[in-house]
Amino acid sequence: MRLASLRNTTLGVLVAAAFLASCESAVNPLIGEPRPFTIWGLLDAAADTQRVRIFSIEGEPGVDRPGTLDASVTTTNLETGETVVWEPYQVTYDDGVTAHLFEAVFRPVHGHRYRLDVTRSDGALSTATVKVPPEVDFTIERSDISPRIHVYVRGNPLPNLLGVEMRYEATNVPPAQVWPTDLKLHPVVNYPVEVSYQGTEQRAPGVVRYDINMTDDFAIVEETYKSKCLVTEGNPNIALRRVEFHFVAANEEWSPPGGVFDPEVLVEPGALSNIENGYGFFGAGVVVAERWTPVKGLRDFIGYSSEQGCSLAPSATNPSCTSPPVPCLDDFSDDIWGLYF
């Protein structure tokens, strides 16, 4: 089973991609299953627009079906009584699967409880109740001369932290344009690499600390680029455009098996669910992120490069200047041209 992430420009949806994943094959048939819906989504207290993905259960719990979904979605703020109606829309993936999603424009309030109701026209109902966790105090210590970063997250109580990652938005650096003019595949590819720091935290009363070493992470970025045929030994240059540290401060119930939201695990009925009369999971939290671009001197120190690997003239002694790397991105499910500048 291969799952393709829903593409979106907001980090909230990127982190929620495990919920909003596209599934090509059926899982665990449930013939005669009386529960009406599978639900994947979260309330993000850092976003003004909320999204949830809904599957109707007709023999299988995690399969998209064409046509209009027989469902209406609302949330109710249980502290204030305010109810919001969610609007339906559809997304079609590159593999032809059409996903049914609902969205609503509002920002959840920290500390408030919300009930999500998904109702079929015959009255069948799947529901979930979540509490938005309190705000967190997030600070990050970094400098222009050191690859080491210290991140501190404070709260009382300490938040449930998930999806803790450094994201390196990098691109391969091409040689100068001296390759054959009939080259069909442009070699400049933007291929972000995410390094997980989940489980590496140091805890003290009231604070969680993460220690990041961008030099160590560069080894992972470089190995990834080599495995994707984006660089070669003769042209090993990788440029760093920017970095991002992000995590989700989640509600207490948001505790997946092994601490990781793996869609292939979570799509299995009973793996993790807080849905009454349904399957899936509906969480609450706040997506926290900081993005910046290290200065050139620090990028150079870490191992990145911003210089072209070849001169403007062909080099007979350096084959990489006339034979650029051709990416091998077989595991990338989106349109490959979406990666190119």
How confident is residue 32, by pLDDT bands cut at 50, 70 and 90? Answer: low
What is the separation, in whole angstroms, between the first and last Cα of the chain?
30
pLDDT of residue 57: 82
CA 229, CA 209: separation in Å to the nearest integer?
35
pLDDT of residue 23: 42
CA 254, CA 272: separation in Å to the nearest integer?
9
- Which is more confident, 182 or 236? 236
Q: Could you tell me how far CA 91 lies from the centroid of its own chain?
A: 17
pLDDT tens digits, residue range 294-319? 999 999 999 998 766 555 455 556 55
CA 278, CA 281: separation in Å to the nearest integer?
9
How confident is residue 16, by pLDDT bands cut at 50, 70 and 90? Answer: very low
Residue of 280, 292, 15, 44 whose CA lies nearest to 163: 15
Q: Are 3 and 263 within 8 A, CB to CB?
A: yes
Average confidence (pLDDT) over 140-149? 96
Output the CA–CA distances (angstroms, integers) from residue 228 to 92, 152, 278, in the order listed.
27, 34, 40
Output the CA–CA distances (angstroms, integers) from residue 149 to 212, 224, 243, 260, in the order listed.
5, 22, 12, 24
Task: Tell me which of 186-190, 321-325, 330-334 is least confident.
Answer: 330-334
Q: Which residue has the tokens 């027989």?
A: 70
Q: Which residue has the tokens 């207490």?
A: 252
Residue 276 has pLDDT above 60, yes or no: yes
pLDDT of residue 251: 79
Q: Could you tell me how far CA 32 lies from the centroid of its own chain?
A: 34
Q: Are 201 and 164 within 8 A, CB to CB?
A: yes
How confident is residue 35, by pLDDT bands cut at 50, 70 and 90? Answer: confident
Residue 157 has pLDDT above 90, yes or no: no
Listed in sequence order, the residues at least 6 apart from 60 whose beta carbon sits closer than 8 Å to its beta carbon are 26, 27, 28, 29, 30
The CA radius of gyration of the chain, in Å to the nearest whole number, is 23
Residue 124 has pLDDT above 80, yes or no: yes
H or E, element range at 118:
strand 113-119
- Which is more confident, 32 or 286? 286
pLDDT tens digits, residue range 225-247? 999 888 877 667 899 999 999 99
CA 236, CA 205: separation in Å to the nearest integer?
44
Q: Are 284 and 277 within 8 A, CB to CB?
A: no
Question: CA torsion sign, 195 to 197 to 198 to 200?
Answer: positive
Listed in sequence order, the residues at least 6 apart from 259 whose beta carbon sits closer than 8 Å to its beta carbon are 162, 198, 199
pLDDT of residue 330: 65
Domain-by-domain residue ranges, the chain? 3-134+250-286, 137-247+291-339
Average confidence (pLDDT) over 38-67? 82
| Averaged confidence pLDDT in the chain | 78
Listed in sequence order, the residues at least 6 apart from 183 whose beta carbon sits closer than 8 Å to its beta carbon are 324
pLDDT of residue 303: 93
Average confidence (pLDDT) over 147-156? 93
Residue 119 has pLDDT above 90, yes or no: yes
β partners of residue 138 = 153
Residue of 87, 102, 90, 81 whose CA lies nearest to 39: 102
